[in-house]
Amino acid sequence: MMPRRVRFAEGATAAGALMLVAALTPLFASAQRPAAAPPAAPIRAAQFPPTREATLANGMRLVVVQSNKQPVVAVSLTFAAGAAYDPPAKAGLADMMATLLTRGAGARTAEEFSAAIENVGGQLTASASADVVTLRADALTDAAPLAFSLLADAARRPTFPDKEVELLRTQLLSALTVELSQPTSLAERTFVRGVFGEHPYARRADPTSVRRMTRADLVAFHDARLRPAGALLVVAGSLSFEQAKKLAEQAFGSWTGAAASPLPRTAIPVRSAREIVLVHRPGSVQSNILVGNATWRPNDPRAYAAAIANRLLGGGADSRLFLTLREKKSWTYSARSSIASRREMGSFEAATEVRNSVTDSALVELLAQIDRLGTEPLDRAEFDRTRNAMTGAFPLSIETAGQVAAEIANAKLLGLPADFVQSYRQKLAAVTPEQVQRAARDGMRSSSLFIVVVGDALKVRAQLEKIAPVRIVSVDGTPLRPEDLVVKAAALDLDLTHLVPRTDSFSILVQGRPLGYQRTTLARTAAGWELQDVTRLATVVQQNTTVRFSWALVMQSVSQSGKAQGQDTKIDVTYANGHATGTAVAPQQGAIKTVNVDTDLPAGAVDDNLIATLLPTFRWASGARFVLPVFQSGKGTATALTISVVAEESVTVIAGTFAAWKADITGGDSPISVWVEKGGAHRLLKLAMTGQPVEFQLVK
């Protein structure tokens, strides 16, 4: 029966009508609102297209997942050739080889190869993970023959052009310079060394290994690891099994080769107690904390419960770490955890970044949350909410052909059950709170966590020692004693004949465009030397600096005034009797901060504004390495800069073309590369901020 229409009495006002609506609304709402939420519907298996498999005559496995929802195809070709197979002295070889597979293959150059797939609206990529090298192609279905042809060229016939090898080497070295200066990367590298020990999973590329690799190494690695036998080819999209198999046989059928050798078994360290490795990063105003452990192989039945445990702990903005460390304590912007799956052994880790003053408190709370997850009964509502969110979100991860191909390939390569993708939601939904607790205890192992803290050891070591035994290392992993933390004199053998009155002018280029200038003038004074520095970079930086120092390079004073991003900056520091006093209002971590400077100096320390001026006095040679104690007057802290000669090369700047020493400067806030004239006055020719499109070029 239809409800009767409500009529307003004659003469009723608008106000009266509104009062009536207001009175009736709660009644309507209560009548329509159910007393309780309806029960959840049964979890169904993920809707997945039919899958067919075959093995080609050469041993390549083919998996076809046909779906005609869209006229697209995604192809994934995977080999057991990941970073774990790198030769010990050439870490990074798999990654370098994978990148070069698409930079020239078959009869095509790098540019032609890229254009061929882009011209049909597709894309083709290659990458290396810990276990595998994967080539992926995505294209419209009518371009599938081309996609298979390009994949075959990349996998079977890469040319590794010398030009591309050297270009990639330069790019990798630049990226590594940035990476090795970042506390997050330092923590991760230290973590995998501690957790995996001598296992290949602990290896990471470094500048030495990248410089050591040759084109012959790349060719040999490719020939040894990229073989058809044992390779996995997954085709997803609007191709039938017969069509996909025909294309696969045309592209790869004539390729022969036995399966590559398996990865040797290597023991992983067993830890019975908590241990802290403190990576000393002088001058850091915050600490990066990373804790974790090795877990198990991906086909372990505890993996489903561990996934929920991780989500509860730090897998989202409603997780315990995030809500406690950020929302409740206001100690950090981010707190997170994750579980990594590798074929031989996975790992669990949790991480956050906090200011120095709360490093110990944040670590204690992080450890308490991990311990609590494995010991306290789970709140049922929290557990249900988390598990339901995960089961509900999973179908979104297999919507596209590319996602389907990736999920199928990942499951096959990790040795997971044949129906892993299809049954994932059901198995996740069947997990109980008790299983989550057991997985947390077994996998996270709160009592024997490996803990990495990257920060200033002088400021955080004493507090950390109250939590667990502390082992101190430098950023390159060298063991340090507490007495090593104080920056000492470098005892540099400088050639002061190159310290002469002069004026140098530099153009500041951003992405190759001149947007500013720097002019430096070094002059003698009655008491020694005075450096005047005028720097202008568009509206970003306007800065005038004066540094005074004695004939014997003893610092006397530094004064600086100007603006940084529209805010006033000022440094006024006096050096006397091995001590620095004064004030600084200068940029730090993206903000202008005021610092009261009252600091003892390491012997021989120079003001950081003087570094470029002193470069001509170094005794430059191939492979030379200089360690210079530096006082950062804008921060009020001392550090040690390492200046390493990494190459001899010709460099072209506005002033001309010169033979130069190229050196990397590390140990400061960010890495820098400099090019110094080999002959003559050893002038600074060029300075580049690694990872940023900014460089200074000598004009005259």
The structural architecture, per CATH, of the domain 51-252 is 2-Layer Sandwich (3.30)
Give DSSP secondary structure letters for 565-600. TTEEEEEEEEEETTEEEEEEEEEETTEEEEEEEEEE
Residue 12: its pLDDT value, please? 41
CA distances from 672 to 61, 334, 541, 662, 700 (A): 47, 28, 18, 11, 21
Q: Phi/psi class of residue 507: alpha, beta or left (left: φ > 0; alpha: ψ in -120 to 50)?
A: beta
Residue 273: its pLDDT value, please? 95
467 by DSSP, 3-state: which? coil
Instruction: Tell me the pTM.
Output: 0.79
Q: What single-letter DSSP state applies at residue 325?
A: I
Backbone angles phi, psi at 383, to 5 degrees: -65, -50
Q: In angstroms, rounded to a whole number, what is the distance separating the alpha carbons of residues 387 and 193?
A: 33
According to DSSP, the residues that pair with 45 across neighbouring strands are none
Q: Which tokens belong to 39? A: 């029960």
Cβ count within 10 A of residue 193: 21
CA dihedral 489, 491, 495, 499 (to 10 degrees): 10
Residue 418: its pLDDT value, please? 82
Give DSSP secondary structure letters for 407-418. HHHHHHHTT--T
pLDDT tens profile 287-308: 999 999 999 999 999 999 999 9
Q: In angstroms, rounded to a whole number, what is the distance separating the alpha carbons of residues 462 and 484?
A: 15
Q: What is 275-406+426-482's CATH topology?
A: Cytochrome Bc1 Complex; Chain A, domain 1 (3.30.830)
Domain 496-551+602-698: top CATH class = mainly beta
* Contact in structure between 683 and 640 (CB atoms under 8 Å): no
From the list 581, 609, 605, the residue with the least C-alpha distance to 595 is 581
* Contact in structure between 628 and 653 (CB atoms under 8 Å): no
Q: Which tokens belong to 374? A: 């494995």
Residue 245: its pLDDT value, please? 97
Each domain of the chain, given as residue ranges in start order, spans: 51-252, 275-406+426-482, 496-551+602-698
Q: Which tokens belong to 464? A: 């950390």
Distance of CA 606 to the CA centre of its chain: 32
Q: Do domains 275-406+426-482 and 496-551+602-698 have the same CATH topology?
A: no
From the list 347, 96, 348, 340, the residue with the least C-alpha distance to 205 is 96
Which residues in the chain land under pLDDT 70?
Answer: 1-48, 487-491, 588-591, 691
CA dihedral 338, 340, 346, 347 (to 10 degrees): -30
Residue 91: its pLDDT value, please? 96
CA distances from 70 to 242, 295, 400, 401, 425 (A): 18, 39, 9, 9, 25
Q: In angstroms, rounded to a whole number, what is the distance separating the alpha carbons of residues 328 and 312?
A: 16
Give DSSP secondary structure letters for 612-658. HHHGGGS---TT-EEEEEEEETTTTEEEEEEEEEEEEEEEEETTEEE
44 by DSSP, 3-state: which? coil
